[in-house]
Amino acid sequence: MNRAFLPVLKSISIAILAMSSITSVAYANEAAKSAKADPAKGEALFTNGDAARGIVACVSCHGEHGNSTISVNPKLSAQHEAYISKQLHDFTGADRNNPVMTTFAKAMTPEDVKNVSAYLSLQKSAPGAAKNKDIVELGKQIYRGGIAEKNVPACAGCHSPNGAGIPAQFPRIAGQHQDYTIAQLTNFRTGARKNSAQMVSIGKKMSDDEMKAVADYVAGLK
């Protein structure tokens, strides 16, 4: 073999190895991104937290299997996986700042978020119930038909007639605590919560009584 050609051959070999290494790293990163969620790990973090990272057990606020018994804390059981992931991501930004959840969300890794979201999506939701019979009919009318004179669309159009929502698009709200639903609608109205342009617009058009009526009706959906 021509000795003058050896350095060229060596350079080509090194380049091929380098490209192979880059491709392998890229493939590994892509594989990590597409790795399946592990609900078991999600359950462990949800139930026990992680003291080393300052993550308190989610169960302490959101209840066993995500069925919160504290009316100001949302029920998370049976919620769509993509929606939970989005909210945890949004808590780390400016559109949904929360003094409690922002701290925990920032301490969670993308894998944590994926695992916890998967775990909660598989849990069975405990039913709720309407409390005020005097306003639940108004809530039903708004939920199913909207408020035409205020250009408020029917809630059922996005959250479905039974409150199950649409996976990866709109959350499940059936059986949710009245107090929590009212609080979120109010936050959308005031701008305290801004991570849904559609809900910000709707919240600004609804009165306190209309919010309470819808929240009561939603609580009774199954």
Binding-site residues for heme c, please? 58, 61-62, 101, 155, 158-159, 199
Annotated binding site: 58, 61-62, 101, 155, 158-159, 199
Rounded to whole angstroms, how far apart are CA atoms 122 and 52?
27
Of 47, 101, 52, 97, which is closest to residue 73 (Cα–Cα)? 101
